[in-house]
Structure 1
Amino acid sequence: MSVHIESPLGFTADFPEHTQVLGDSTAGPNSGQYGLPGDVLVTVIKDDTSVQDAPQANGWAHLMSGFYREERGGTLLAEGELNLPGKAAYAVVVGYDDAGGAGKVAATVGVWERSRFIGVVVIWPYVDPGVEPRLGMLGEIVAAISVG
């Protein structure tokens, strides 16, 4: 079973069972947030006024990751193309400590699909250096989102 989402922001998603659609997105207007099992927070952002092509989508991922690197003192863990069929998806993955001191991983992903852009930010608890960054999990989450 999965949770099917049809967002007014112009995307659909099929997230795992027990996903919670969060009411008011803390990311502001033109965004939606979803709580996935395992304390994974997914934010989908419609920002097609500032991104017009795949290279700009890559730039968006770098720009958005700056918050976690600069404001949160994070460290770059990985970056690159996620190699998902039918879409260009470039991710920048940063490890950081949240306000309470807990280790987190934030992945900012610029997705270009069907000549449209959507930004995805995925945050999950840091487990240990042997498994982070969990790029397979990140790829599955981004693959589950389709731009309409």
Structure 2
Amino acid sequence: MKREDFFKEMKKGFFNTLKSVYEPFIEEDLEKLEKTTDRILGVNWSFVCSEYYQFNNINQFYISGSPILITKEEGNVKAFSGICPSCSNLLHLSVLYSTCKCLNCGNDYNFQNKIGDLTLVEMPLALKTDGYYVGQANNPKHNR
């Protein structure tokens, strides 16, 4: 074996050893940082469903008494508040037509065509080891 090849192999082995030793500490620090950030921002993560749940184009869940709309389009999953941002009433969901409408102020949104006069409030959604979690503000006034 050439001396040059020997040093290359030594370098690879050294870096792999360092990586395997420090990787758990880095992951632990990242988890702590994520929890601290959530605490500062006032975000609570609530379980929505299993990662194996068969989503329709549009789905409605109730988390801590608040309606959450979850859409799935081409593998992209997004969560929205099910409360009208204009008048704070519940949105009426039509799965058949993929629309939601506020019956109080008359604003609506079509998820297929992506048109409408209703501006939905997107919520953070995370896929963790046991399923999907949605981030909600500690103070319910922040969801509006």
Which category describes the TM-score, using the shorter chain as reference length? under 0.3
Higher helix share: 2
TM-score, normalised to structure 1, is 0.27
TM-score, normalised to structure 2, is 0.28
